[in-house]
Amino acid sequence: MIRKLKTSKKEDFLAYEGYFYYRNRPDSVDPAYWRYKFYKRKPNPCLGKVHEFLNGNIVVICEHNHPKDNTATEAIRIKNVLKENSTIVYRFLHELLKEQELTEKIIADLDAGEKRYETPITILRKRQLKNMVSEYEQYGSIEYLAAISANFRF
């Protein structure tokens, strides 16, 4: 169950599967560059990396460095959330494609060796992202998006 705990100008809090997420880059131009930390019940922070954006500009899936985490678990989480929020994810992909100038800058930075764009969506070249949206439009496959997202790991 996804539930928004608190929203303010400085931070957005979210609870998901026992983890708490908060935005720590509120001045970011685009939500794709937000970084998240999560805490379980104990204050044991880990830096997270975004998989998918849902509920507007809130992220609920986190790629983290926990030693007990594994690919299969992450893929299942992504697939389940995508099934519940496919329309929102689809809309986000289209909105991202509209950011032509920003996308071109990301591509130029990546080609120049820039490493700070670490989310699975933003490391894709614009052509790849367009193909992804095109295939989703053609097949309407939530599993396709889940598989793509699960394969982009760091």
CA atoms of 1 and 6, how far apart (whole Å):
16
Residue type, 40: K
Show pLDDT as tens, one digit a residue, over the chain (154 residues): 333 333 333 333 333 333 334 344 443 333 333 333 333 333 333 323 333 333 333 333 333 333 344 444 444 444 454 444 444 344 444 444 444 445 556 556 655 655 554 444 444 444 555 555 555 555 544 444 444 444 433 2
Residue ranges covered by each domain of the chain: 3-151
